[in-house]
Amino acid sequence: MKTLDDLLAEGVTGRRVLVRADLNVPLDGDTITDDGRVRASLPTISALSQAGARVVVAAHLGRPKGAPDAKYSLAPVAKRLGDLLGSPVAFAADVVGPSAKSTVDALADGGVALLENVRFDARETSKDAAERGALADEFAALADAFVSDGFGVVHREQASVYEIATKLPAYAGGLVLAEVEVLRTLTGEPKRPYVVALGGSKVSDKLAVISSLLPKVDAILVGGGMCFTFLAAQGLGVGDSLLEADMIDTCKRLLAEHPEKIVLPADVVIADDFSAEANTQTVLAANIREGWKGLDIGPITVERYGEILAGAGTVFWNGPMGVFELAPFADGTRGVAQAIVDSSAFSVVGGGDSAAAVRLLGLPEDGFSHISTGGGASLEYLEGKQLPGVAVLEG
């Protein structure tokens, strides 16, 4: 696999370099509420710019329906990227059209441009390889080399991720390299005990990774909405908590096969409404009231999970323990995250909501060994799946 360092060693002054970044940030109107992914893209973009390349950044935002949609425009991201780089970022008002061509043509050595949301072009995510290839040809016409640095999308076979790497000399950016190295550590011979803290809303979303990890780990600490399907599988009532009834038998099977590895909450925080103003109670997991819903793990569980994490050699955390965005239900996620920070384990935060929680709750990012930018890609790698955007770089 050729790397960014290889490209820089070849010399990039005056060359147009297309960088596929992951800039899929949360927006409130035009305001970026968490710029973590923008910051993560800076090292590669800065290295190329400072070496004199003409940097063309491609990225997506949200899930537009293959056509321009103002609420998914990358314009606010271009401004934030410019602020962080300390120099303006030119913004193309289309993906590969006249604005993209003129914007790239106007770049000076060291200049940076951001193309509009690649998913505004339906060919980006088309199931037809020929359509994706045609778009990749148009991307290739804008550049002389390609750097893949959006780890959050390397599990997708899309034009700006996969096909483009077959059209131009392709290199792995520092972010992709770092992510793959960390994940290889987790799938190789991790230091034990190897503990996974797994949250999120649905068992069905995490079933493949749970099934893959159970033979390999020493414990999976279950939180988030998914824990209530496991509790129901134990025969407990869960009130109005999130429940996937069609997954109960699957959870029963997993609990029967790995009773010593799957650790479930002993207590939970319940509420009579899904809001920060709701009435709340902390109850044993066996005592969830009808009409109430579980929205966080309780303090007994936080302490128990903390003790397990304190003795861990390796930790992978993916998914919040509760609805951390609402203050009454943030203590579980905060407590588990702090226990990981306090441990001496090699610790990996698996992207997405977990990374956002670290920042929102004010936890030190350097308290974790690695914070991934790609939750879905991380999970698929741990499931043993091939990531198309990585495989194409490996030739």
Residue spans of the domains in the chain: they are 4-178, 189-383
Fold category of 189-383 in CATH: Rossmann fold (3.40.50)
Check whether 132 is labelled as a binding-site residue: no
pLDDT, residue 376, reads: 84
pLDDT, residue 384, reads: 86
Q: Which phi and psi (to 5°) does residue 25 adopt?
A: -95, 155
Catalytic residue flag (residue 235): no
Task: Report the alpha-carbon distance of residue 297 to residue 222 in Å, rounded.
Answer: 9
- Choose the catalytic residue: 16, 37, 54, 123: 37
Check whether 352 is labelled as a binding-site residue: yes
pLDDT, residue 9, reads: 98
Q: Which CATH number is 4-178's, of 3.40.109.10, 3.90.550.10, 3.40.50.2300, 3.40.50.1260?
A: 3.40.50.1260
pLDDT tens for each residue of 39-59: 999 999 999 999 999 999 999
Single-letter code of the amino acid located at 265: P
Check whether 22 is labelled as a binding-site residue: yes
Check whether 121 is labelled as a binding-site residue: no
CB atoms within 10 A of CB 274: 13
Catalytic residue flag (residue 184): no
Domains 4-178 and 189-383 share a fold: yes
- Choose the catalytic residue: 101, 359, 376, 385: 376
DSSP string, 44-106: HHHHHHHTT-EEEEE---S---SS--GGG-SHHHHHHHHHHHTS--EE-SSSSSHHHHHHHHT
Check whether 384 is labelled as a binding-site residue: no
Catalytic residue flag (residue 352): yes
Structure tokens at 68: 């321009």
pLDDT tens for each residue of 198-209: 998 888 988 989
Check whether 184 is labelled as a binding-site residue: no
- Choose the catalytic residue: 202, 252, 261, 385: 202
- Choose the catalytic residue: 152, 223, 224, 352: 352
Catalytic residue flag (residue 202): yes
pLDDT, residue 339, reads: 97
- The residues of the chain scoring below 70 in pLDDT are 351-352
Contact in structure between 103 and 92 (CB atoms under 8 Å)? yes
